[in-house]
Amino acid sequence: MNHFELKSVAGTGATTLHVEDVPLQEIAEQFQTPCYVYSEAAMASAFRGYQQALAGRDAMVCYAVKANSNIGLLSVFAKLGAGFDIVSGGELARVIAAGGDASKVVFSGVGKTRQEMRDAIATGIFCFNVESAAELDRLSEVALSLNKRAPIALRVNPDVDPKTHPYISTGLKCNKFGVAIAQARELYQHAASLKGLEIRGVACHIGSQLLDPAPLAEAAQKVLNLVEQLNADGITLSHIDLGGGLGIRYRDETPPTYADYLGPLLKVMAGRKEKLLFEPGRSLVGNAGVLLTRIEYLKPGEEKSFAVVDAAMNDLARPALYDAWHDIDAVTPRAGATASYEIVGPICESGDFLGHDRLLVLEEGDLLAIRSAGAYGMTMSSNYNTRPRAAEVLVHGKHVFQIREREKVADLFARERVPQP
Ligand SMILES: *Cc1c(COP(=O)(O)O)cnc(C)c1O
């Protein structure tokens, strides 16, 4: 089901883009722009997609908080029964504030501090996904200082090529994440000797925006071989975490369905009694959000015409950072001949674009919806050029909830000081 659709405006021949039952036009009037707008139904339907594909298996879906960490969104997943994959103490605090269940939290990341470890142990998280030998030692020491044992999985690098963008592929030998699968057996032995650790599982995450199920199944097979070696060594695991990474359609990609994506992997895991964990981020929220922006100026040029909008790379970094494509639609499409526009923001950088060469019929003041902006949009935003961060709004049917206020300029330098002589 499409949760962002053109629907007709009562009493006119015009159509305008709605999020569920709410016209984006109304949201722009009420909350101004730029504004992130999310569909609760879209998130719930993506989450249920995973649940259905995993029906009958002992499995836990842990939403990857870094994709979008607004506590309003987290609360939606908490109510659906999700677990959470976090990468910092800050994200743990958000999960708790959103009503999430700490006992369903997995903690990933290569740089966990002692304080983050203490807090996570005290909160009673499900598992630490440990990314190095040094982290095993530190975690054991921290747990013992609290008279506790920390539950762990070792994040291994199965060395499969996920065939995605090099910046978002993580499962190859040559990157900073996890430990080489060839060293894992030895490290588990070491972990078993540490009094502050309780070995629970194994984890991997091979990359992001994956469109092919084969690399995941290949990784699962390699992880399973390791699990069997560990069994032979007398180390039994109760769960296998296969990370996140399912891709979404930004432009013309055709991502597999949940069932097609998980099918080959579930085949590999057939008959295994370990609980399966997944850590999807993008596929749960990416297409559940748009960035709503208004055109400030049209700037016709000889070679290129520009539409200067009030959103910029500080709001949505993906185009500038990865040269990523996001569909851009007029909220209320006009009739007439299209022209090609560069959709750019007001930031003083040539890289500040949101879309190149878009065929649209535009006038100053028109609203645009930048699609597929629910994941790695707001969480990667910044205050570059002293731009207050956007408001965020969650739609549920005909209900609209503001889940983040727009920042005020004074907020941005409230912690700065002019030195007093
Ligand atoms: C980023 C990340 C995820 C989520 O990835 P998506 O591509 O958004 O599904 C899951 N697990 C780990 C360890 C990550 O770093």
d(CA 166, CA 172): 10
Predicted pLDDT at 166: 54
245 lines ligand 1 (CB under 6 A): yes
The DSSP symbol for 234 reads: T
User: Which residues are CB-contacts of 301 (< 8 A; sequence separation ≥ 6)?
Assistant: none
Check if 348 is active-site: yes
Ligand 1 within 6 A of CB of 243: yes
Residue to mutate (ligand 1; options 60, 66, 248, 318; most atoms within 8 A of CB): 66
Question: Which residues in the chain land under pLDDT 50?
Answer: none
- Looking from the CA of residue 282, the nearest atom of ligand 1 is 8
Res 162: pLDDT: 78
377 ligand 1 Cβ < 6 A: no
Q: Please give the pLDDT value at position 165.
A: 53
**Which residue's CA is the nearest one to ligand 1's atom 3?**
244
From the centroid of its chain, how far is CA 28? 25
Domains of the chain: 4-39+286-412 (2.40.37.10), 108-280 (3.20.20.10)
Q: Give the per-residue pLDDT at 161.
A: 80
What strands lie across the sheet with 4-8, from one edge to the other?
4-8, 15-19, 22-23
Establish whether residue 286 lines the binding site of ligand 1, counting it when its CB lies within 6 angstroms of any ligand atom: no
Closest atom of ligand 1 to CA, residue 210? 7
Q: Contact, 361 vs 333, CB < 8 A?
A: yes
Between CA 171 and CA 158 the distance in angstroms is 6
Give me the phi and psi of 132, to 5 degrees please.
-160, 165
CA of 171 to the centre of ligand 1 (A): 11
Which of the following is catalytic: 62, 127, 174, 348?
Answer: 348
Is the CB–ligand 1 distance for residue 20 below 6 Å? no
**Per-residue pLDDT at 173:** 58
In degrees rounded to 5, what are phi and psi of residue 291? -105, 115
